[in-house]
Structure formats: C-alpha cells, structure tokens
Amino acid sequence: MTKSKPIVFLDRDGVINAFPGKGQYVTRQENFQFLPRALEAVRLLTEADCEIYVISNQGCVSRGLITEKALGEMTERMLEEIRAHGGNIQKVYYCFHQKLDNCECKKPKIKLFLEVLGNRKPDMKQVFFVGDSEEDLGAAKNLGCQGILVLSGKTTAEDLSNFPLTPDVVRNDLYEAAQWIIQKKF
C-alpha cells in the first residue's frame, strides 16, 4: 500500500501575504505583498511532494470592494510568482460571502475543503491547515485535520492566552510551519 501525499491547506492573508488589518482586505495588486520566507515555504512543501491548496474567506467580493475578475487576476499573479520560485499550488478556493449569508463555504465551515478532497479518504494525520485566525483553527477542527496557527497575520502571541481553540501547533510563520509539516510527514 502506497502512502498518500500529504495535503496542505493554506489560508492566504496573514499566511502567504501580509495581513491587511482587521476589517481590511487586499483589494489592489500593489497591496499584495508576500510575507518574508512565504515563497520559500511553498517551495519546500512542493519539493516535499505535498499537495497544496489555498482556501480563503474573501468577503470583499460580496461587499463590492473587488470584482471576482480582479481577484482572479491577483490570484494568477500570486500563483505565477510562487511557480517562479519553485513552488506549486494546485488550486485556490475562495468564499466570497459574508457571515450573514450563512453559507456553507465560509470558514470555519468546510465545504471548500470537502470539494478538494472529493471522494478521497486521506489519513487525516497527513492533512494540515495553516492559518492565522480562530476561523482557520475552527475549520481544521471541523475537518479533523491538524491545525497549525501562524503568528504572521491576524493572531499574535498575546492573543493565544484568550484563544478559544487550541492549535495543534503554533509557529511564527509559514516557513516554520512548512518545516514542521515536512518533519512530521516522514
């Protein structure tokens, strides 16, 4: 029996690119800035034969702050830059809704994760979600995978004492999370 590839889900803002601030969104290409070592982290995960997907809440679309087309163009530029640095993200999934829409795809709900998995039944010890928020950890718990909280975005080290959910792992950034995942998978 062959071991399945590890699956790594990544949040976007605060994990791959700089978090724009609470209540703010990255709605212009010039405001999209990769976090230090994020490109290298995706490359490391790619070289370690991980399947990588981005799942991100982007309510800015339903708020009319950016069009789906403009977000798609920004996403394509992000993916091009990641590929240029030796990384590969299989696909990016966005929830465009707001909380009041009560959709099934806005994290911490897991519809988008289930779309990725399809009919596969992976070993959940080989499935990871790297995020920077309570919603991200909630999604990891709801999916039953390992939740890795990074402190490079919405959540700070000071926030952890009041955090309602306990992450499986806390790391400073995606690079440190990638190193942990790679060590864990072997």
Active site residues: 11, 13
Structure letter (DSSP) for residue 161: G
| Beta strands across the sheet bearing 127-131 | 91-95, 51-57, 7-10, 127-131, 146-150, 169-171
Residue 108 structure tokens = 């911490």
The one-letter code for the residue type at 12 is: R
The structure tokens 């992976």 sit at 122
Nearest CA-CA partner of 16 in 130, 103, 159, 98: 130
